[in-house]
Structure 1
Amino acid sequence: MTKLKTIGSVGIVSMAALTLVACGKSNQSNSNDAKTASKFPSSMPKKAAKQGGTVKVALETDTPFTGIFSDQLATTSFDAQIASPGAESLFDTDDYHKINDKGPATIKINQKNKTITITLKKGVKWSDGKQVTAKDLEYPYEILGNKKTKAQRYSTKLEVLKGLKEYHEGKAKTISGIELPDGDNGLRMILHFSSLKPGMSFSGNDYYVESAAPYHYLKDVPFNKLESSDKIRKKPLYFGPYKLAKLVRGQSVTWIPNKFYWRGKPKLAKIVYQVVSPNSASQAIKSHKFDIVQVVNSQWKEVKNTEKVKFIAQIPLYYSYLGFKVGKWDAKKGKNVMNPNSKMNNRSLRQAIGYAMNIAAVNKRYTNGLSFQIPTLIPKQFGDFYDPNVKGFTYNLNKANELLDKAGYKKKGKWRVQPNGKPLKINLLAMSGAATQEPIVQNYIQQWHKIGLNVGLLNGRLTEINSFYDKVQNDDQSVDMFMAAWGLSNEPSPNGLYSEGGPANYTRFVTAENNKLIDEIDSEKAFNHKYRVQKFHEWQEYMFKDAYVIPMYNAYKIYAVNDCLTGYSLKPSESNNDHPLWYQVGYVK
């Protein structure tokens, strides 16, 4: 599924203490710029590992995590992080995200028949000892497709699977495009599609599910109670290397080995995730309270010389963005509906807001250059799908004022009014986070004030993450624009995030041109790589021009890792949806 890793920062300070045994000093560079981060490795050195030991991981957030232990129902990055020791994907990939046959299941694509066969390996078992079956492969589609679950991860992109739309709309009790040739307890599932898509060989393509759900365990829970049930919130089943042993709701999670794990006994005795405030991240690194801590980039200077840790880094498939609310989600119709009379439904207004943002200067001042402005919604990591000719919204107050003047946003005293003469007050929703979050957001508000736009924080303050996404997802009418972020799928199609039928299209913009371009990007014609590249470039140019979403920045993701650990990696072939393959992680002998 699209990685709805809704990115935020959160936290309660952890009081956990950990004494580290010396295994050699780190010899990290003292430089504090992006060049330093670019030279960091993406994995810990490979060494022989011993059995046992506890790894403590800092979960950096300023509010309690939600704790939805379901691949189909969870939507935040924090829930994905804390579930990662158990939540193994069905598929392993190479470093280019192409699915291989090394994981719990394999796929076989038949272009002629427009089918994909997924075959489980014998011995892949849930943590209660039950074999994962074909019915467990089918059940995620029922969870996602049944409207009673209100799954945010459901998208019309999935409706290329035959019968899923009819099931979603309540017109069918089963999904006709799913075939279990060996029955519910078999190991094979055949998916029948109306058409095959160019990204289907790659993880994160959004056209089929890459997880399983334990039908035998969840079948008695009504769909409308699934997300809140104890079987999802307190005692989940996974087939990954670890199983949940202890949960302090919203604060910490403890994992112990799954004795039925199909690859064999994992190395560690325990993995503990503990909430810590982003403002305390640097202290957590320097005091060695945790074995794994993500560096808050604004705190890099404070931690760069820390001993007994190694820094590993990557540029993730991620971007932050400013989105404009121009409509709402229609649950009955299962699609986004744009409001042509929305306050923010004026291209010149949106463009002006983009040109007034001094993003590059903010990154330099607050993140030691470890964050950097991006011009488009397709990151450079996607190779030639990225369009280098889209320049993005560089800081230009003159251009911003000119756009507003021409569009009829005249000044009446200090503030501009709408073209119809009515007052213009713009409410910005921004989430709380590290100590730098408030001054960064206030900086942008001051920039918008300079061009005469009366922008203010909703309710006069930053909003904690759970409330933030409640307002964004449910189209709170008081929100005019919002700052959020995406962790992206490994397959670059924008369908899941910006389509008419995608609940994750939080701006709710819908246009004929956007629909056309997304359809072309994912068409059978797009098996021709040159054609698909062309359509990706056209889509980026279109999104820049209409500016319903303004890309802001990406950033180096740096981790401080106890240098006694091995097997911790950020490489696609050695990670699981951007999380480590925990069965490989252990302490050096």
Structure 2
Amino acid sequence: MKKYLNSKLVVTSSLVLMFGLAACSDSDNDANTNTSENEGEQTGDSETMYREDGVYSIDMFSSTIEPEGEAVGGVLNYALSSDTPIAGTLNPIWSSGVPDREATDWFYGAMFTLDETYTYSNEKLTSVELNDEGNVVNIKFNEQANWHDGEPLTMDDYLYAYEIIAHPDYTGVRFTSTLRDIEGIMDYHNGDADTISGINVISDEEIEITFNDASPAIMASGLWSSPLPRHVFEQYDIAEMEEVSEVRENPIGFGPYIVDTITPGESVTYTKNEDYWDGEPKLDGVTFQVVNPSVVAQSLRSGEIDMVTFPESQFHENADLDNVKWLGRVGPSYSYVGFKLGTWDSENGMVDTDPDAKMSDVNLRKAMAMAVDWNEIGNQIYNGLRWNATSVIPPFHSFYHDDSSEGIPFDPEEAKRILDEAGYELNGDYRQTPEGEELVINYASMSGDQTNELLANQNIQAWNDIGLDVQLVDGALMEFNSFYDRVGQNGDDDPAIDIYAGAWSVGTDPDPSGIWGSDQLFNFTRYSSDELTDIFERGNSEEAVDLDYRQNVYNEFQEYFNEVVPAFPTVYRAEIVALNKRVSGYSQDNFNPNLSFHTIQLNSEEPYVHGQ
């Protein structure tokens, strides 16, 4: 029986919910399964979590903690475990790095909530309906929300966000392929129209958006989720907005907390928004601070921080903390190694694939993909909370993730055979090119916690073991912002980089073109092909409203991607959150807006301290 997209838009299978809660439960698939013989009871308590063998399973964790005890107000100390400072772009229209995004989440607010199928629901702030033809969306406010300065949030503010993102002077990276399918938006973008014909503001409470084509992506990610206050930003030139005070120093939102103070690079403090549309927050405020991964565990032990997304690599040695409860889910992300196969054509907004790039030989790329044992790395470095990835559509999208695929297998002997057959002969310790020239492969990898250097060295050693001379660019790991600048986030590809270790967080829609499409700046590999473009077009076509059809297209994509190897996925990851035992009322589940930032509560004025 086929599954179709109806006017209520069920775009993804309910299996997504099952996977989000139960994680990797298919014990017959070792590549996508990570289990322990001594599984806990999902309480998150230290006495049920600790394992002597140091290998854990995401199945041991719950993703939700209900409110406990009496709320006492107070200030939550939230930590971002990172060695990367907050860049200070505190607006979702311009921010791109994780530190800025997380700092923004606490105060900005979002137009939409999700249901169990990871599609827009008709609850909370807005109702979203699609017409029978599948190309016109009607959005209405269910509640009245106000910006932090007291001005009402209107649909004109929502329109304004589209007008900024689609404007030719816009300096951010949010003008996605789905947004480009809005009727008239390209005429506006190209300067041929003053307005976007496909967006019609009916009233302050209602708006209608018309797309050129019906697509399953519309209700999963086709709608931008963050309005922009026109009354605040219209005084500025669009090209300068990213640097203005209302983004950098005094950012404004409509979320549960209000920005109070900013210490550049280090921290943000918030006070509660008593006028928050979904109810007054239970905390008096929040302190958001960047904490180096090397000291985050000690900060948890001492009660200095209350809440942090915790490094998987440090979990085993801290699983017995008696002042902490743990939450966990299968993360909506994956890590990968990408090969630089071209440059970015800024004039045309397209990747320019170079058939003569150093890494252009698919045999070389495939051999490198086969050389590293990612399951072993997941167990040794990440306590089993990262595991071998087989596809760049991660299991977070369980309906579309092809769990029958083994991906590119770990097989160093086969990797050597492939290189031998392709003409990469050994000349001493290392191989030379088929043309007899020296081959040095320059590898870019980010700094982070203490495991990043270990991981980079293990990768290099594995590649050395098959005869490839791989060296870190500049001989060292790169700081987060420098890394992304050099791999091409600003459109300038550093020619010193041949391969790089990246990571990608997916949205609610499985469409992979947002990172691998030929018109996407985030496609740092700069690889494109007619076959890949055709797959992406079919995956977002009107025919793909039939979910079985779309699933088949994306299975084809996963097979094709593993054949041409412009990049290869390395690990999927658990997303672990540590909470001081005085914290409750929170869920990691995207589709559980009843337990979110505004429902977090403290049941004790003082934090619990380990051993006391």
TM-score for the superposition, normalised by structure 2: 0.87
Aligned to 2:49: 29
Choose the corresponding residue for 1:92, options 100, 110, 113: 113
Q: 1: CA distance between counterparts of 2:180 and 2:336?
A: 27
Aligned to 2:302: 287
- In structure 2, what residue type is equivalent to 1:134? M
Aligned to 1:336: 351
Give the paired residue count: 557
Secondary structure of the 2:243 match is coil
Q: 1: CA distance between counterparts of 2:59 and 2:463?
A: 33
1:194 to 2:212 alignment: yes
For residues 341-390 of structure 1, give each alpha carbon's deviation from its aligned partner in whole angstroms, at most 9, with x where no partner exists.
Answer: 11111111110110111222222211121111111111223223111232
1:574 to 2:592 alignment: yes
Q: CA deviation at 1:34?
A: 5.3
Aligned to 2:249: 234
Aligned to 1:419: 434
Secondary structure of the 1:310 match is strand
For residues 383-398 of structure 1, the aligned pairs below 5 Å read 383-398=398-413
For residues 24-58 of structure 1, give each alpha carbon's deviation from its aligned partner in whole angstroms, at most 9, with x where no partner exists.
Answer: 98644322655554222111133355252110011
Aligned to 1:482: 500
1:149 to 2:149 alignment: no
Secondary structure of the 1:541 match is helix
Secondary structure of the 1:364 match is helix
Q: What RMSD, in angstroms, separates the aligned Cα atoms of the two structures? A: 1.9
Aligned to 2:63: 42
- Quickly say closer, same or farther: Cα 1:329–1:174, change in 2 above 3 A: farther
Q: 2: CA distance between counterparts of 1:374 and 1:122?
A: 42
Q: CA deviation at 1:499?
A: 1.0
Aligned to 1:298: 313
Q: CA deviation at 1:406?
A: 2.0
Secondary structure of the 1:445 match is helix
Sequence identity, in percent?
29
Aligned to 2:276: 261
Q: 2: CA distance between counterparts of 1:417 and 1:437?
A: 28
For residues 490-533 of structure 1, give each alpha carbon's deviation from its aligned partner in whole angstroms, at most 9, with x where no partner exists.
Answer: 11111211111112112111100100111111111011122111
Q: For the Cα contact (< 8 Å) 2:63–2:327, is it kept in 1? A: yes
1:510 to 2:528 alignment: yes
- In structure 1, what residue type is equivalent to 2:71? K
Q: CA deviation at 1:315?
A: 1.0
1:112 to 2:144 alignment: no
Q: For the Cα contact (< 8 Å) 2:124–2:143, is it kept in 1? A: no
Q: For the Cα contact (< 8 Å) 2:56–2:383, is it kept in 1? A: no
- Where does the alignment leave 5 or more consecutive residues of structure 2 unmatched? 1-43, 605-612
For residues 162-200 of structure 1, give each alpha carbon's deviation from its aligned partner in whole angstroms, at most 9, with x where no partner exists.
Answer: 122222233333222111123xxx222211111121133
- Where does the alignment leave 5 or more consecutive residues of structure 1 unmatched? 1-23
Q: CA deviation at 1:147?
A: 3.2
Which sits farther off after the overlay, 66-75 or 242-251?
66-75
Q: 2: CA distance between counterparts of 1:387 and 1:274?
A: 38
Q: 1: CA distance between counterparts of 2:232 and 2:246?
A: 8
Q: 2: CA distance between counterparts of 1:241 and 1:174?
A: 32
Q: CA deviation at 1:575?
A: 5.0
Q: For the Cα contact (< 8 Å) 2:178–2:217, is it kept in 1? A: no
Aligned to 1:211: 226
- In structure 2, what residue type is equivalent to 1:130? E
Choose the corresponding residue for 2:383, options 352, 361, 368: 368
Aligned to 1:272: 287
Q: CA deviation at 1:409?
A: 2.0
1:166 to 2:167 alignment: no
Aligned to 2:449: 434
- In structure 2, what residue type is equivalent to 1:31? R
Q: 1: CA distance between counterparts of 2:306 and 2:593?
A: 18
Q: For the Cα contact (< 8 Å) 2:85–2:99, is it kept in 1? A: no
For residues 455-481 of structure 1, give each alpha carbon's deviation from its aligned partner in whole angstroms, at most 9, with x where no partner exists.
Answer: 100000000001011112231111111
Q: 2: CA distance between counterparts of 1:368 and 1:496?
A: 31
Which sits farther off after the overlay, 533-542 or 259-268?
259-268
- In structure 2, what residue type is equivalent to 1:163? G
Aligned to 2:73: 52
1:246 to 2:246 alignment: no
For residues 3-22 of structure 1, the aligned pairs below 5 Å read none
Aligned to 1:409: 424
